[in-house]
A = this chain, B = another copy of it.
Amino acid sequence: MIIGKVVGTVVASRKEEELVGLKFLAVAPIDLATGEVKPGGVVAADAVGAGVGEVVLYASGSSARQTTVTQNRPVDATIMAIVDTFEVGGEVLYQK
């Protein structure tokens, strides 16, 4: 999984039927060495009630379809967890 920060929201009224009811969030990856947001990012379905500004873990590929919320739905990235804290090199880089 990737640690990322929820940086925005995406609204799409015309979409594949199986996506109806899912919330889509823009997530930018966080550099594991510095804790800073990096360029790039994905639009992920939300399986845990995440909100803008939160630090999350998201999974990609077929694993994104293994949650209760996303099962059998055509998503390739899903927010799986809201991070409380992460520590790299003995230093706390993020604490909620």
Contacts and interface: CB of A to CB of B under 8 A. Distances in A.
A74 B60 CA distance: 9
Given A39-B31, A82-B12, A75 B88 contact: no
Interface centre among A11, A73, A74, by most B CB within 10 Å?
A74
Contacts of A40: 32
A43 B3 contact: yes
A16 B86 contact: no
Interface residues of A, number: 60
A93 to B, nearest CB: 8
Interface string A62-95: 1111111000111111101111111111000100
B87 A8 contact: yes
B62 A62 contact: yes
10 contacts: A2-B43, A7-B89, A8-B87, A9-B87, A11-B84, A12-B81, A14-B82, A16-B67, A16-B68, A18-B66
